[in-house]
Amino acid sequence: MNCDELSDLILFHAGGVAEEEESRRVLAHLEAGCPRCAGRFAESRAILAPLPLALGSVAPGADVRLRLMAKVAAAGRDRGRPEPDVVSRGIKTSDASTRFVRMWVVPSIAAALAAAFVGLAVYTPMNRDRLALEARIAQQEGRLRTLQSEVERAKRTLQLLRSPAVQVVSLSGAETPRAAGRILWDKSRRQWHFFAADLQPLPPGRTYQLWFITGDQRMVSAGTFDVDDSGQGELVASVPEGLAPIVLAAVTDEPAGGMPQPTGKIQIKGEIPASS
Amino acid sequence: MTEETVPPNAASGGTADDFTLMRAIASGDASSLATLYDRYSGVVLGLCLRIVGSRAEAEEVLIDVFFQVWEQADRYEPGRGNPAAYILTITRSRAVDRVRALGRRRRLDVGEERRGATPKGATRRISEEQAAPFRDAWLSERRSRIETALGGLDPAQRRVVEMSFFDDLSHSEIAEQLREPLGTVKTRIRQGLIRLRQGLRGQFGPEARS
């Protein structure tokens, strides 16, 4: 195959969509050192690589950054350390000086260098251990913060459940029979504490949205939330003043960021008893 | 934003800052890696999620990608592409490796679910820390050009290109899922990539200038 015939295969290969045999031919040609095709390959990669930008961004969890930086610290590579500053000084060459140098300076320098090597031999593993320990401490601190936050959340939920001013409303699956929700309606604070279970995690670019649906058929957004891999999610929403009595709560799936009115299918819903 | 000289022969499409960050990372500056992470982790995770499916696995791949950037920064060559393209190339490779390690059957099972978010329908969710106006504008502009180029494909071409490029399905798997002849799928991918190259050449290639 000549270069022109390979042009499209190079594009395929650069995009990672070439069959194995096609990739082998391209690689063999590139390894043969064809500069024109090497240029085509580089161009193809530069053009195709940013395609995933079209997929949009998804914010990772805060702990991911911590874990990455802990891994970097634990790798213990010391690439940025400045070299020791060594200044050479001229030494006068007289007989007495020469003897002095031979008898005292040279052995002293040798001893100092030996001590430095020993010190380095001890210091380098210690430094590596220190960095690894620091990384582990950073990780543990991160986990501790997460756990503390979860404990606080659990405490607040328990307080709500104990309060006589809180009404409990259950939501059940419309689209997904297993999915469920629970609202703890704190009348004293005009807040809904909403908990979801067994909702399907949504693909990037989609989110769940909770709605107040009033007796006069208005649908008011209570906010958006995401679920974790186990399908659990939660949301605290303020109930707006002046709304007509809320008769229904529902969750739909919507584009990320939410919508002013529901556009997706109802995933779970529940009736609000008349006494509320 | 500070203006810096773009290295000679460097592909444009990244900011000069990105090249500076890569040089700093190569000399062992972990804070530069953190800055690069803050800039591109959202895009990287978006691609990982598309290919891998599971959030937990995708975040592991995200860590692997930036750790590889850290470990191999001294091997990055500006003349071969801007840092964003370099990072995304590593991302795709790592995500595909992870999927293969997890087993091909799982990929096919979640294929439909993951394809639910098409590039056109995707909405950005980035942390407050990442919302620097200049970078936002740059990513937004690049995304817009790519979406325009993808929009220039006919729907059938676009679909197979996305399934192959974003979902890491082989031509045979795509043909099986779409119930189309293998030859038809290959031809559509070929035509789609050629049209993308025509649409994006001069936008992102080495000769492009921002």
Predicted pLDDT of residue A204:
85
**A57, A68, A257 member nearest B63 (Cβ):** A68
Please check whether residue B191 touches A, CB under 8 A.
no
Q: Helix or strand or coil: residue A194? A: strand
Give the model confidence (pLDDT) of B156-173 as tens digits: 999 998 888 777 678 888
Distance of CA A226 to the CA centre of its chain: 15
Span A178-195, mean pLDDT? 90
Per-residue pLDDT at B56? 92
Long-range contacts of B4-10 (CB under 8 A, 24+ apart): B7/B78, B7/B79, B8/B79, B9/B78, B9/B79, B9/B206, B10/B78, B10/B79, B10/B82
Judge whether A73 and B162 are in contact, CB under 8 Å.
Answer: no
Is B56 in CB contact (< 8 Å) with chain A?
A: yes
Please give the pLDDT value at position B157.
92
Comparing A130-134, B10-14, B37-41, B156-160, the range with the smallest average pLDDT is B10-14
Q: Which residues of B14-33 are buried (b: 16+ CB within 10 A; e: fewer)?
A: bbbbbbbbbbbbbebbbebb
Residue B122: name the closest of A138, A207, A174, A61 by CA: A207
> For residue B132, what are the CA distances in angstroms to A249, B16, B136, B140?
37, 15, 6, 12
Task: Tell which wins on pLDDT, A276 or A224.
Answer: A224
Note the pTM of the prediction, 2 decimals: 0.46
For the ranges A44-48, A119-123, A182-186, A209-213, which has the lowest average pLDDT?
A119-123
Chain B interface includes A46 (CB < 8 A): yes
Q: Say what percent of chain B tops pLDDT 70.
A: 68
Mean of pLDDT over chain B:
74
Residue B1 has pLDDT above 70, yes or no: no
* Contact residues for B186 (Cβ-Cβ < 8 A; gap 6+): B171
Residue corresponding to tokens 């773009």? B6
Give the residue from chain A lying closest to B192, CA to CA: A12
A74 closest CA partner among B30, B38, B25, B35: B30
Write the residue in B71, B189, B197 that is nearest to A44 by C-beta.
Answer: B197
Contact at CB, B47 and A52, closer than 8 angstroms: yes
**pLDDT tier at A260, thresholds 50, 70, 90:** confident
Judged by CB atoms closer than 8 Å, whether chains meet at A55 and B50 is answered as: yes
Average pLDDT over residues B175-191: 90
- With CA atoms as reference, report the closest residue to B1 among B24, B23, B25, B20: B20
Q: What's the mean per-residue pLDDT of chain A?
A: 79
| Of the candidate ranges A9-13, A113-117, B187-191, the one whose mean pLDDT is the lowest | A113-117
pLDDT at A211 over 70: yes
Q: What angle do CA B67, B72, B76 make, to 5 degrees?
A: 125
Q: Which of A19, A54, A78 comes nearest B146 by C-beta?
A: A54
Whose structure tokens read 């499209």?
A8
CA gap A43, B174 in Å, rounded: 27
Instruction: Please compute, for residue A223, the number of CA atoms within 13 A of its CA located in the half-sphere on the CB side.
Output: 15
How wide is the angle at C-alpha A68 spanned by C-alphas A62 and A69, nearest 5°?
95
pLDDT at A217: 66
**Contacts for B33 with CB less than 8 Å, ≥ 6 apart:** A69, A72, B21, B25, B66, B69, B70
CB atoms within 10 A of CB B143: 21
CB contact A38 to B (< 8 Å): no
How far is A133 from A146, CA to CA, in rounded Å? 20
- Does residue A229 sit at the B interface (CB-CB below 8 Å)? yes
Instruction: List phi, psi (to 5°) of A17.
Output: -120, 20
Predicted confidence (pLDDT) per residue in B18-58, tens digit: 888 999 999 999 989 998 998 899 999 998 998 888 899 99
Q: State residue B130's pLDDT score.
A: 39
Residues of B in contact with A11 (CB under 8 A): 193-194, 197
Residue B66 corresponds to which tokens in the numbers above? Answer: 């930036």
- Degrees, nearest 5: CA angle B165-B170-B171: 95
- pLDDT above 70 for A264: yes
Residue A180, pLDDT > 90, answer: yes
The edge-to-edge listing of strands for the beta sheet with A191-197 is A219-225, A206-214, A246-255, A266-271, A166-173, A180-186, A191-197, A233-238
Nearest partner of A224 among A175, A191, A267, A257, judged by Cα: A257
With residue B100 as reference, give the H or E element that holds it. Answer: helix B83-102
Instruction: Give the tens place of pLDDT for each residue, B109-128.
Output: 444 444 433 444 333 344 43
Q: What is the mean pLDDT of residues A229-240?
A: 89
Alpha-carbon dihedral A258, A260, A265, A269, rounded to 10 degrees:
90
Treating both helix axes as pointing N-terminal to C-terminal, what angle do A20-31 and A35-48 enclose, rounded to 10 degrees? Answer: 130
CA angle A49, A53, A57 (to 5 degrees): 135
Query: What's A241's DSSP letter?
Result: T
Cβ proximity of A61 and A228 under 8 Å: no
CA distances from A114 to A82, A158, B153 (A): 21, 65, 69
The DSSP element (H or E) to which A195 belongs, if any, is strand A191-197
Q: What is the pLDDT of residue A50?
A: 73
* Phi-psi map region of A223: left, alpha, beta (phi>0 left; psi -120 to 50 alpha): left
pLDDT bucket at B69, cuts 50 / 70 / 90: very high
User: In this structure, what are the phi and psi dihedrals at residue A4, rounded to the nearest 5 degrees?
Assistant: -65, -40
ipTM: 0.70
Please tell me the predicted confidence (pLDDT) of residue A39.
84
Pairing of strands A266-271, A233-238: unpaired
